[in-house]
Each structure stands twice: as structure tokens, then as C-alpha cells.
């Protein structure tokens, strides 16, 4: 197994939920072409290809064998090249000062849509109950705890940490895109999805 992707570290149950939402949101947009930024273990790109989509991948790691070896800040891709750009759990690996520059680059290479997900910190309380013949009821809220983010080699910032409120991130995104939808999956409260239109 690739040294970058230990199954128990990166492919835990919540991560598979995120893969499902990435795939579902891309397919709902009915694209002809998709660019996945951050190839990971290849799960999402492989599935989308099996659905008949033309998928290209971009990553900074040459050993992952992406179609494009490049940084999201400067992609060697023509303007308006892909129907959908999928950028899941990538931009937090850049200093926050580069967030808007990265959004501009995503806007440049997509024809129409971006499916973006970002980490959203916050200890959740989740309640789910199901009664026969009635739709399942799910209730979730995050405990209002906003510690200062300790920038490390993994994440420079996360939504929900001090200085990175959901409103602030949303307002920045709205400078460049129309937000068609945003949500945090019940099953994985750490990943915040934004469905963006150019």
C-alpha cells in the first residue's frame, strides 16, 4: 500500500462518507469532464470514470501519478477546461492568505461548477432516530467551541477555529462564485461541502 495512504488513517468510515458525497454532488451536476484536485487514493476518480465521465487528476505528488503534476495555485490548464472541478479537503493545506488566489484559479479552469469541501472544526452532538413507516429524523449541532488554530504541517486553518468562522469563509467564496448549496453531512461533521457556480 502506498506510504501516503494508510487505510486506517485515511480511509476510515467518515472518509468513505465524504467520498460518497463528492461522487454524488459531481454526478448531480451531469458533467462531461471533471478535474479532481488531490488524487488521494484514487477512489473518487476511479468511480467517476466507471460512470463514463472523462476525468483528469491534478496533484503535487508525482508518485501518485496524476495527469497533471502541479500546485492548485498555478495549474497548467487552459481556461474553462472542465465542466466540474472537484477540490475536496485541499485548500486548508495552503496558508489562509492564499485561499482567495486558489479560488480564483478554480474559477479560471472550470467551465461552470466547483465542488469544494473544507474541514469544519467543532465537536458535534448528533441524534438520529427511526420509527417504522416514518422518515428518519436527524438532529445535529456543534458545541460552540472555537479554539485558536495551531498551524502545523497538515492544516494551516479550519472553518470553526478562531478567526475562520463559517460566515467569513462563505463571504470570501461569494466574491468569486454563486453558492448553490452548502452543507455538512450528518455522518461526517468535519467536512463542509460547497456547490459553486461560476
- Per-residue pLDDT of 82-115, as tens digits, reads 999 999 999 999 999 999 999 999 999 999 999 9
| Domain-embedded: residue 2 | no
| Domain-embedded: residue 185 | yes
pLDDT for res 178: 98
Q: Based on the structure, what is the number of domains in the chain?
A: 1
Closest to 67 (Cα-Cα) out of 43, 35, 92, 44: 35
Residue 14 clears pLDDT 90, i.e. is over it: no
| Domain-embedded: residue 41 | yes
| Domain-embedded: residue 78 | yes
pTM of the model: 0.91
- The residue ranking higher by pLDDT, 183 or 150, is 183
Domain containing residue 20: CATH number:
3.40.50.150
pLDDT for res 121: 94
Q: How confident is the model at residue 1 (pLDDT cuts 50, 70, 90)?
A: very low
pLDDT for res 9: 62
| Domain-embedded: residue 74 | yes
| Domain-embedded: residue 1 | no
Angle at 11 between CA 155 and CA 18, to 5 degrees: 75
Q: What integer is the mean pLDDT of 130-144? A: 89
| Domain-embedded: residue 91 | yes
How far is Cα 29 from Cα 31, in angstroms, rounded to an integer? 6
How far is Cα 51 from Cα 107, in angstroms, rounded to an integer? 25
Q: Are 38 and 87 in contact (CB under 8 A)?
A: yes
| Domain-embedded: residue 134 | yes
Per the structure, the complete domain to which residue 41 belongs is given by 7-197
**Number of residues assigned to the chain:** 198
**DSSP single-letter state for residue 66:** -
Amino acid at each position: 500500500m502506498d506510504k501516503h495512504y494508510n487505510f486506517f488513517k485515511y480511509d476510515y468510515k467518515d472518509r468513505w462518507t465524504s467520498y460518497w458525497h463528492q461522487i454524488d454532488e459531481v454526478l448531480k451536476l451531469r458533467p462531461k469532464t471533471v478535474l479532481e484536485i488531490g488524487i488521494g487514493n484514487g477512489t473518487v476518480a476511479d468511480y467517476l470514470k466507471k460512470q463514463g465521465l472523462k476525468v483528469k487528476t491534478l496533484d503535487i505528488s508525482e508518485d501518485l501519478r496524476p495527469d497533471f503534476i502541479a500546485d492548485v495555485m498555478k495549474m497548467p490548464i487552459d481556461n474553462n477546461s472542465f465542466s466540474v472541478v472537484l477540490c475536496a479537503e485541499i485548500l486548508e493545506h495552503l496558508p489562509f492568505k492564499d485561499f482567495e488566489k486558489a479560488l480564483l484559479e478554480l474559477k479560471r479552469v472550470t467551465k461552470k461548477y466547483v465542488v469544494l469541501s473544507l474541514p469544519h472544526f467543532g465537536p458535534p452532538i448528533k441524534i438520529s432516530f427511526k420509527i417504522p413507516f416514518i422518515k428518519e429524523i436527524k438532529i445535529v449541532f456543534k458545541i460552540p467551541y472555537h479554539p485558536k488554530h495551531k498551524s502545523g504541517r497538515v492544516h494551516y486553518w479550519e472553518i470553526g477555529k478562531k478567526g475562520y468562522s463559517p460566515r467569513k469563509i462563505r463571504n470570501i467564496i461569494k466574491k468569486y462564485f454563486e453558492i448553490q448549496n452548502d452543507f455538512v453531512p450528518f455522518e461526517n461533521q468535519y467536512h463542509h461541502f460547497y456547490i459553486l457556480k461560476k
